[in-house]
């Protein structure tokens, strides 16, 4: 199986390979090694600390925020979102029009976009991308909802893309699908297992080109000097993976990285007092939720997993939610770096934001929670434990992220809150939560998604169509929810072109999800992040007024970022990262563990269910 054709480059020496391996194992940016080797020592490198692991470098599989952020940098979409207010603007398509029936859409593909191997990007690449998703269910894993309604996609010529629909579709100017080079990807065999990490550089046409990746270590990108919108100001981006948030903050303080995201309140407060560091605390585009296993199922009707049967009772789910004080979570645990959760769409997207009325709202009400459990037949025994008709005490597993401080804090709060009602909770915090999640081996779990300006994707993951085909397959479902009324509303909103009418249907969908009780939106966390002002001179937030930098709905932050005067890399304002002698010492320290390097690199990628997009 061949997936990437490497562009011409100087073959690295064996010494360089050893140095690169040492840098990867030690977590050291490779640009410091190149400086010692006489390579790109003057490169301006922007180093970003990230806490999440890439699930896949294949745009057909990736769903995690760090991965989709990388893909926005490496590939063009048909359209983009304006950094100022999120309205649709041209991307790979310079313009578009629809037929009177709204069933045929024609896009003019720009002539000045080129793949990084020199070939011109054409409408044939876009047509192939969409047709592959339509014809191969494995290629539709991540973004299949966008093409499910496509009847036919053609490219009459290199500059024209035509999409014919089965019925009207309101997302035709918000197709968040990376367009890939046909001449590369048509060589791929099984799209369910190919992760696009075989050869580098990876051919793309975005503002940056992926040049190297080591699982749970780093991901490197270089600036695309031929990008049609203009080359980025930094020569390279380096995403360094930190399992521990305090370690990332320490690296920021020392100047080893330029940017850190996902700060906890205490870290943000401390960094605000630190010279040359700016903290950005802005309304976020994601929600934090408590998800209930509704009974994992597949499209073929078979159920699987080990979800607790008691949670299939709506009264039990409502009781759990009435026992949770979201105000305490926001004010005490998140220290007001968030907004109390209501509906499924964050308030940042005002047109779609919804919250329940007084009669519908599941407010904090301990007395009501206790009454619901009593009526459902789960009364307390002599030990104060809630037991069912089978005499077994209620104990729920709570799946959480071992590396997320918020999960730990909120999990402890839930443990105490539910224990007062006689319900025990067993925290199951793991580095890899995706495996048990996809297999349905959980009762409750922390969930979170980043929402795009168009909410279709995060709505689609709760439709019956998103379920896996069989228990052995992987669908695009978030939480195995399959509700016919929700599906009917989804079909209505996707076919509604009137923005006001569509927004009303989207609100009804959120109301339906709320009433089903499988999702309890706890909060809308702020985007709390920080960067060194002696590394980054200027950078664009999205939206420009009180917006975020990490995980934008476009590539604006990293494309627009300008180095501060005199900054050449994360080693310091002068761009130095250490002498050749220091690099040799680093190699010596690695020699003892070189024998296990192959094992580290071969480890299966870790993915999480946090910050998904």
CA-nearest of 125, 110, 108, 105 to 160 is 108
**CA–CA separation, 349 vs 613, rounded Å?**
15
CA-nearest of 348, 330, 378 to 523 is 330
pLDDT in tens, 496-523: 999 999 999 999 999 999 999 999 999 9
Q: Given pLDDT bands bounded at 50, 70 and 90, which one contains residue 570?
A: low
Give 181-249 as a DSSP string: -HHHHTT---TTT--S-SSSSPP--SSEEEEEEETTTEEEEEE-TT-TT---SSSEEEEEE-SSHHHHH
Whole-number pLDDT of residue 283: 94
Q: Mean pLDDT across the chain, nearest whole number?
A: 87
pLDDT in tens, 229-254: 999 999 999 999 998 899 999 999 99
Tokens for 161, please give them. 């893309």
CA-nearest of 156, 161, 168, 146 to 59 is 146
**CA–CA separation, 489 vs 486, rounded Å?**
5
Maximum pairwise Cα distance, the chain = 77
* CA-to-CA separations, 117 to 5, 32, 69, 91, 184, in angstroms, rounded: 9, 26, 22, 20, 10
Give 439-479 as a DSSP string: TT--SEEEEEEEPPSSTHHHHHTTSGGGS-SSTTS--S-SS
Whole-number pLDDT of residue 63: 86
pLDDT in tens, 146-199: 999 999 999 999 999 999 999 999 999 999 999 999 999 999 999 999 999 989
Q: Given pLDDT bands bounded at 50, 70 and 90, which one contains residue 41?
A: low
Does the pLDDT at position 37 exceed 90? no
**CA–CA separation, 329 vs 347, rounded Å?**
18
Whole-number pLDDT of residue 475: 84
> How many other CB atoms are there within 10 angstroms of residue 552's CB atom?
24
- Cut 0.85: pTM above it: no
Whole-number pLDDT of residue 434: 86
Q: Is 205 within 8 Å of 9 (Cβ atoms)?
A: no
pLDDT in tens, 53-110: 899 999 999 988 899 999 999 999 999 999 999 999 999 999 999 999 999 999 999 9
Question: Is omega for the bond preceding 201 within 30 degrees of 0, making it cis?
Answer: yes
DSSP 8-state class, residue 571:
T
Whole-number pLDDT of residue 402: 87
**CA–CA separation, 290 vs 444, rounded Å?**
7
Whole-number pLDDT of residue 426: 96
Whole-number pLDDT of residue 19: 36
For residue 613, what are the contacts with CB-CB under 8 A and spacing of at least 6? 63, 64, 65, 68, 69, 449, 450, 452, 457, 551
**CA–CA separation, 336 vs 360, rounded Å?**
25
Q: Given pLDDT bands bounded at 50, 70 and 90, which one contains residue 545?
A: confident
For residue 285, what are the contacts with CB-CB under 8 A and spacing of at least 6? 346, 348, 349, 450, 451, 452, 527, 548, 551, 553
Question: Is omega for the bond preceding 462 within 30 degrees of 0, making it cis?
Answer: no
Q: Is 368 within 8 Å of 397 (Cβ atoms)?
A: no
Indicate if the alpha-carbon torsion angle 437, 442, 448, 454 is positive or negative: positive
Whole-number pLDDT of residue 53: 82
Q: Given pLDDT bands bounded at 50, 70 and 90, which one contains residue 568?
A: low
**CA–CA separation, 70 vs 66, rounded Å?**
6
**Angle at 320 (CA atoms; ends 317, 323), nearest 5 degrees:** 150
Q: What is the mean pLDDT of residues 572-586?
A: 32
Indicate if the alpha-carbon torsion angle 11, 17, 23, 25 is positive or negative: positive
Tell me the backbone φ, ψ of residue 221, rounded to 5 degrees. -135, 145
Q: Quote the percentage of the chain above a pLDDT of 70.
A: 86
The whole-angstrom distance between residue 400's C-alpha and the CA centroid of its chain comes to 17
Q: What is the mean pLDDT of residues 203-209?
A: 98
pLDDT in tens, 313-349: 999 999 999 999 999 999 999 999 999 999 999 999 9
Whole-number pLDDT of residue 431: 85
């Amino acid at each position: 199986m061949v997936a990437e054709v490497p562009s011409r480059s100087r073959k690295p020496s064996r010494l360089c390979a050893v140095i690169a391996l040492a840098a990867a194992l030690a977590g050291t940016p490779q640009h410091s090694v190149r400086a010692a080797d006489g390579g790109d020592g003057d490169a301006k490198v922007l180093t970003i600390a990230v806490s999440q692991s890439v699930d896949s470098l294949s745009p057909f599989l990736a769903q995690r925020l760090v991965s989709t952020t990388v893909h926005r940098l490496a590939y063009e979409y048909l359209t983009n979102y304006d950094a100022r207010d999120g309205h649709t603007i041209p991307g790979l398509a310079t313009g578009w029009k629809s037929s009177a029936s709204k069933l045929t859409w024609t896009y003019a593909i720009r002539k000045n976009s080129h793949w990084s191997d020199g070939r011109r990007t054409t409408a044939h690449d876009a047509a192939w991308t969409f047709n592959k998703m339509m014809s191969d269910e494995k290629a539709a894993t991540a973004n299949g909802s966008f093409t499910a309604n496509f009847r036919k996609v053609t490219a009459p010529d290199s500059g024209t893309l035509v999409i014919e629909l089965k019925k009207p579709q309101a997302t035709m100017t918000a197709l968040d699908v990376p367009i890939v080079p046909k001449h590369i990807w048509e060589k791929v065999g099984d799209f369910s297992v190919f992760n696009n990490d075989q050869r580098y550089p990876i051919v793309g046409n975005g503002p940056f080109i992926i040049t190297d990746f080591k699982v749970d270590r780093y991901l490197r990108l270089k600036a695309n000097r031929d990008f049609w919108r203009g080359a980025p100001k930094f020569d390279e981006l380096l995403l360094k993976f930190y399992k521990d948030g305090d370690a990332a903050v320490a690296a920021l303080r020392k100047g080893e990285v330029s940017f850190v995201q996902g700060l906890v309140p205490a870290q943000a407060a401390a960094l605000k007092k630190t010279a040359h560091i700016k903290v950005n605390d802005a309304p976020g585009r994601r929600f934090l939720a408590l998800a209930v296993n509704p009974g994992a199922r597949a499209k073929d009707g078979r159920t699987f997993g080990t979800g607790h049967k008691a949670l299939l009772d709506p009264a039990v789910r409502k009781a759990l939610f009435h026992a949770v004080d979201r105000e305490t979570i926001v004010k005490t645990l998140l220290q007001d770096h968030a907004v109390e959760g209501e509906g499924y769409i964050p308030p940042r997207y005002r047109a779609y934001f919804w919250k329940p009325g007084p009669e519908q709202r599941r407010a904090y009400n301990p007395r009501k929670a206790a009454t619901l459990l009593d009526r459902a037949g789960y009364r307390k025994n002599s030990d104060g434990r809630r037991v069912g008709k089978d005499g077994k005490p209620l104990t729920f597993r709570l799946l959480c992220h071992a590396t997320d401080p918020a999960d730990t804090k909120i999990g402890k709060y839930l443990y105490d809150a539910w224990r007062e009602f006689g319900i025990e909770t067993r925290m199951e915090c793991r580095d890899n939560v995706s495996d048990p999640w996809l297999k349905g081996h959980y009762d409750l779990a922390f969930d979170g998604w980043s929402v795009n300006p168009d909410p279709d994707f995060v709505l689609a993951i709760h439709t019956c169509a998103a379920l896996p085909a069989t228990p052995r397959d992987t669908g695009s479902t978030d939480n195995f929810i399959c509700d016919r009324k929700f599906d009917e509303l989804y079909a209505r909103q996707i076919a509604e072109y009137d923005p006001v009418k569509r927004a009303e249907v989207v609100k009804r969908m959120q109301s339906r999800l709320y009433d089903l009780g499988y999702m309890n939106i706890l909060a809308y966390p702020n985007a709390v992040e920080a960067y060194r002002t002696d590394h980054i001179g200027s950078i664009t937030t999205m939206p420009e007024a009180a917006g975020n930098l990490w995980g934008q709905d476009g590539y604006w932050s990293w494309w627009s970022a300008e180095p501060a005067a005199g900054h050449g890399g994360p080693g310091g304002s002068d761009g130095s990262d250490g002498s050749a002698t220091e690099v040799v010492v680093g190699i010596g320290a690695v020699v003892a563990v070189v024998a296990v390097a192959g094992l580290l690199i071969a480890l299966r990628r870790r993915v999480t269910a946090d910050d998904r997009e």
